[in-house]
Amino acid sequence: MYDFISANLPYLLAGISVGGQYAMIAIGYTMVYGILRLINFAHGDVFTAAAYAMVYMNATMPLYLSLPLTILFTVILGYSVERIAYKPLRSAPRMSIMISSIGASYLLQNLMWYITSGLARQYPTIPWISKTVTIFTATTKMVTLVTPVLTLVLVLLLVQLINHTKIGMAMRAVSKDFETSRLMGIKINKVISVTFMIGSFLAAIGSMLYFTNYTAVVPTAGAMPGLKAFVAAVFGGIGSIPGAVIGAFIIGIVENIIKAVGLTTFSDAFTFALLIFILIFKPTGLFGEVIHEKV
């Protein structure tokens, strides 16, 4: 028994931490989808961009500056992506907005590739969270323990924000009915911008945790986590924040179990298998609600 635990604890830890990091991204997806009914393919790349921002800023300035600046940068990036790539297409069919988001992701990736000429950059070590600790048999980085806690804290804050503030109420209204809430005089664009900002903010935090664990940053580093996070969002019921978080943790953990079993080739494929499974048997996900189409 002891052996079993000591053998598998590392997998579990890795799963939980990566799950938490997925959660951070997933929230961004799920909120945007809730409001715009749009899969923001560029979100994963915003996540990567945050990492690069950190790399470059940390090279020139002390940590207590580079951390907040990175977050600020990411938030601005997320905001401008929305402004440039999505706002002009408000009235366009959903398909072309989605295409635009793919294009945006393509652009961001190529841009990052150009700036770094595709070479891996070493992520700076953020002091406290990257020191190693030992939980009885398993040795790991502090971030592994910090991630889940931080995730939950942030989610709780977010839920508070959504349920008890004016802007939060506006968000809920918009996600319920776009047109009506516009007629009700809610400033749609403001709400959407805020949503993207929150999403990017969490992505920035997520990237700090993620890359503290997995220190090499490449232009495509965010693509896979991004997709998985989206799957998590769908799994938990798109539009529902707790759903996204739970989905993310499940995916993170199971993914590592798959690796533990030795089916390493399928560790990514599994995520999508899960997605398709859920889409077929419960298209609304764990916590999603059904939308009727008027005929």
Partner 1 sequence: MKKCLALILTVVMLLPVMALAENYAGEIVIGIYEPASGTSGAGGKQEALGIYYANYLAPTVELSDGVYKVKLVEVDNQSSPDKAPSAAQQLVSEGVSIVLGSYGSGVCIAAADIFDAAGLVAIGISCTNPQVTLGNPLYYRICYLDPFQGTVLANYAKDEFNATKAYTLAELGNDYDVGLAYYFAEAFKGLGGEVKGEEFPKGNSDFTAYLTSAVNSGAEIIFAPTSVEYATQIITQAAANGITIPIMAGDTWDNVRILEAAEGTDLSISVSTFFDEGDTGALAAEFVTGFKAWLNENPEKLANNGGSDIVAAVSALGYDGYMVALEALKRADSGDRDDIADVVAEVTYEGVTGFIAFDENGDAIRDQAFIIKTDNETGTWQFVKVQNVSDIAK
Partner 2 sequence: MKVFKIILSLLLAIIACLLIFFSINALDLSALLKEIVPLETMQQDAGLEKAVKRINDCLADGNQNRALRSLNRLLDDYPDKVHLDVQTKLDLFFYRNNKVMLTLGVYVLFFSAALAVSAFLKQQKHQTAVLVAILVASLYAGIYIVEDLVGVNSMLMTVLKKGAIYALLAVSMNLLNGFTGLFSLGQAGFMLVGAYTYAIFTIENTSRAQVYQYYQGGLVQFTLPTLVAILLAGLAAAFFAFLIGLPVLRLKSDYLAIATLGFAEIIRAVLQYDGLGRITNGSNLLRKFTTFNTALFPFAVSGICIALIALLIHSTYGRSFKAIRDDEVAAEAMGINLFVYKQLAFVISSFFAGIGGALLAMYQTTVQAAAFTSAMTYEILLIVVIGGMGSISGSILASFLFIASSEWWLRFLDNVTYIGTFKVPFFRSGFRMVVFSVIIMVVVLFYRKGIMGDKEFSLKSLMEPRKGGKRRG
Which residues of this chain interact with partner 1, rule CB under 8 A? 7, 10-11, 13-14, 18, 113, 117-120, 122, 130, 132, 134, 138-141, 213-216, 218, 220-221, 223-224, 256, 259-260, 262, 264-265, 267-268
Judged by beta carbon distances under 5 to 8 A according to partner kind, the member of partner 2, partner 1, none in contact with residue 279 is partner 2
Q: Name residues whose C-beta falls within 8 Å of residue 19's C-beta, 6 or more positions apart in sequence.
A: 148, 248, 249, 250, 251, 252, 253
H/E element, 280: helix 267-281
Range in contact with partner 2 (rule: CB under 8 A) among 6-14, 68-76, 176-184, 271-279 = 271-279
d(CA 20, CA 43): 17
Tokens of 40: 């923001």
| Residue placing its CB nearer to partner 2 in the complex, 145 or 279 | 279
Binding residues among 211-240 for partner 2 as defined by CB under 8 A: 223, 227, 230-231, 234
Range in contact with partner 2 (rule: CB under 8 A) among 92-100, 131-139, 150-158, 189-197 = 92-100
Cβ at position 51, least distance to partner 2 in Å: 18
Judged by beta carbon distances under 5 to 8 A according to partner kind, the member of partner 2, partner 1, none in contact with residue 215 is partner 1
| Residue placing its CB nearer to partner 1 in the complex, 17 or 195 | 17
> What's the gap between Cα 202 and its chain centre?
7
Residue 31, interface with partner 2 (CB under 8 A)? no
Q: Which of 6, 80, 96, 163 binds partner 2 (CB under 8 A)?
A: 96
| Residue placing its CB nearer to partner 2 in the complex, 68 or 118 | 118
Among residues 155, 131, 159, the alpha carbon closest in space to that of 145 is found at 131
Cβ at position 231, least distance to partner 2 in Å: 7
CB 143 within 8 A of CB 212: yes
Q: Which of 12, 146, 197, 268 binds partner 2 (CB under 8 A)?
A: 268
* Orientation angle between helical segments 188-213 and 142-164, nearest 10 degrees: 170
Binding residues among 119-138 for partner 2 as defined by CB under 8 A: none
Three-state DSSP string of 30-87: HHHHHHHCCCCCCHHHHHHHHHHHHHHHHHHCCHHHHHHHHHHHHHHHHHHHHHHHHH
In the 8-state DSSP scheme, what is residue 134? E
Instruction: Output the CA torsion 55→57→59→64 (10° steps).
Output: -110
| Residue placing its CB nearer to partner 1 in the complex, 8 or 284 | 8
Is residue 282 helix, strand or coil? coil
Q: Which residues pair with 277 in a beta bridge?
A: none
Q: Interface residues with partner 2 (CB under 8 A)?
A: 37-39, 84-85, 88-89, 92, 94-96, 98-100, 102-107, 110-111, 113-114, 117-118, 223, 227, 230-231, 234, 265-266, 268-269, 271-273, 275-276, 279-280, 283, 295
